[in-house]
């Protein structure tokens, strides 16, 4: 049992102002795995006061001092990386190989990237008679989700630290353990008191208090569109900056060539990674209508080949994060069936042999872009295959969405893939795979605003000053 009932404020672990706890449920067993405290606006006030008090000194710290601090954090992160992976496996059900692999690697990668960018980042630039200066924005409220807990937390904390900001982190209530360990890492690495603060609790309480707080200069939020809209409303009265990375319904376009079968199989299996709980997942697979029969066989075989089971075992997919998430996904699957979608893999209920835990069958429909399951973000292992007649039709279908976070194009002609990618109204497009910590990530349309990752992630936490003459 993990009991994390204190908050990290002003360099110390402190008790909540008004003690109140909540159980944390292991999604693989449906059993209580620990407890956290639920904070209040009074706890937020204490954390913001500490961050405001620490800002003048930390905001004026040198680049060399910040690099030294980030490198100390890096050493401590590496020392405790296995503990982070174990926490992620327990809190949100990621398979051990994924929790100890890509999950923790992402946090480590964002930290290394922040150090790399900071070493060459120009905080001042002379342009003619004007000195352009980039200064830390101030106190930042960081609100993070449960689906990629290290990625989404580290992609905010480390650029903010590099930029010279102080901060208050509100980790996800459903997956709080890894954030607790990360706070311990920052403390052991010697982050000055008040620079980093953390208050656990409910988003509707802690997130709202941060968003409305007069002494918070910026909010960075990753999560659902509904909550993002509310944060903007809450922040409006204080005219603070709000960065949002919201939902997605990303299209994966597979070209009509000799690699189609391999690309369909890869896209299908890829959709099931992290139990489909990825905002940029390619949940709409667009394929040539003339080869739909072949696509059905390949996609069904790939989905049926995804092993599901205990995160501690040798399985490709674990449970989804909670009972409520499981129920929502089941409702979407039932909706897809009622809409007349052709179910070629998976379906309702748990996989055979799994009677406990929030496990979902890797599910694939063949349908069209007007279906609810093709319009709304399901956030589970549910793929919708849609046929297209030609490239123009594929681009039209891909862009026919309220979202614009991610996209994928796969085919043997790389230049054709890139030409298609240029036409997609979405923030990041992967052409035949690839990965880059320096590539800016963020959304068009209702997928949000602002950019994270690499140098572009620094700009979220900086103000621009002109010194003229």
pLDDT (tens digit per residue) in 217-247: 999 999 999 999 999 999 999 999 999 999 9
| Confidence band of 4 (pLDDT split at 50, 70, 90) | very high
User: Of 351, 428, 420, which Cα lies nearest the Cα of 388?
Assistant: 420
Domains within the chain, CATH numbers bracketed: 2-246+447-468 (3.40.605.10), 251-437 (3.40.309.10)
| Confidence band of 405 (pLDDT split at 50, 70, 90) | very high
Residues 6+ apart with CB under 8 A from 378: 276, 283, 328, 329, 332
Asked whether the beta carbons of 177 and 24 are under 8 A apart, the reply is yes
What distance in Å separates the CA atoms of residue 159 and residue 105, rounded to the nearest whole number? 17
What's the whole-model pTM score? 0.97
**Given the structure tokens 């900056």, which residue do they identify?**
241
- DSSP letter (8 states) at residue 207: I
Sign of torsion over alpha carbons 389, 390, 391, 392: negative
| Confidence band of 418 (pLDDT split at 50, 70, 90) | very high
From the candidates 245, 377, 452, 460, which is the catalytic residue?
Answer: 245
User: Of 384, 440, 386, 434, which Cα lies nearest the Cα of 409?
Assistant: 434
Q: What mean pLDDT, rounded, does the chain reach?
A: 98
Residues 6+ apart with CB under 8 A from 64: none
Q: What is the pLDDT of residues 293-312, one digit of tens each?
A: 999 999 999 999 999 999 99
pLDDT of residue 243: 98
- 254-266 per-residue burial string, b: 16 or more CB within 10 A, e: under 16: bbbeeebbebbbb
Q: What is the pLDDT of residues 438-454, one digit of tens each?
A: 999 999 999 999 999 99
| Confidence band of 105 (pLDDT split at 50, 70, 90) | very high
245 catalytic residue (yes or no): yes
């Amino acid at each position: 049992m993990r009991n994390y009932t204190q908050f990290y404020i002003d360099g110390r672990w402190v008790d909540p102002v008004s003690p109140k706890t909540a159980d944390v449920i292991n999604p693989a067993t449906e059993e209580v795995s620990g407890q956290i405290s639920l904070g209040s606006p009074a706890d937020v006030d204490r954390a913001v006061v500490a961050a405001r008090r620490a800002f003048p000194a930390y905001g004026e710290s040198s680049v060399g001092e910040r690099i030294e601090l980030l490198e100390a954090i890096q050493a401590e992160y590496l020392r405790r990386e296995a503990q982070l992976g174990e926490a992620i496996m327990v809190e949100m059900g990621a398979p051990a190989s994924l929790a100890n692999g890509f999950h923790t690697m992402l946090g480590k990668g964002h930290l290394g990237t922040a150090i790399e960018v900071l070493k060459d980042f120009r905080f001042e630039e002379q342009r003619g008679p004007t000195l352009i200066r980039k200064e830390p924005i101030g106190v930042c409220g960081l609100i993070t989700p449960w689906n990629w807990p290290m990625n989404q937390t580290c992609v905010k904390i480390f650029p903010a630290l590099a930029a010279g900001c102080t901060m208050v982190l509100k980790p996800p209530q459903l997956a709080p353990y890894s954030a607790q360990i990360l706070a311990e890492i920052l403390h052991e690495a010697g982050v000055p008191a008040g620079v980093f603060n953390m208050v656990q609790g409910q988003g509707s309480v802690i997130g709202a208090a941060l968003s409305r707080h007069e002494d918070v200069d910026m909010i960075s939020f990753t999560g659902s569109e509904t909550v993002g809209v509310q944060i903007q409303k809450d922040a409006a009265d204080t005219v603070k900056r709000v960065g949002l990375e919201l939902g997605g319904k990303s299209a994966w376009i597979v070209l009509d060539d000799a690699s189609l079968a391999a690309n369909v199989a890869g896209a299908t299996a890829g959709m099931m990674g992290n139990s489909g709980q990825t905002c940029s997942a390619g949940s709409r697979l667009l394929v040539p209508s003339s080869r739909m029969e072949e696509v059905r066989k390949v996609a069904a075989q790939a989905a049926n080949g995804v092993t599901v089971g205990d995160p501690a075992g040798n399985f490709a997919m674990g449970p989804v994060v909670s009972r409520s998430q499981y129920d929502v996904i089941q409702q979407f699957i039932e909706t897809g069936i009622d809409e007349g979608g052709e179910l070629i893999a998976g379906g309702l209920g748990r996989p055979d042999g799994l009677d406990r835990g929030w496990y979902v069958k890797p599910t694939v429909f063949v349908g069209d872009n007007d279906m609810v399951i093709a319009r709304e973000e399901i956030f589970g292992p549910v793929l919708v295959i849609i046929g297209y007649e030609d490239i123009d039709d594929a681009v039209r279908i891909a862009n026919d969405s309220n979202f614009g976070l991610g996209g994928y194009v796969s085919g043997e002609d790389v230049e054709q893939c890139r030409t298609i990618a240029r036409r997609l109204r979405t923030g990041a497009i992967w052409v035949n795979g690839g990965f880059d910590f320096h590539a800016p990530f963020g959304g068009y349309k209702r997928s949000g605003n602002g950019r994270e990752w690499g140098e572009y992630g620094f700009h979220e936490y900086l103000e621009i000053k002109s010194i003229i003459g």
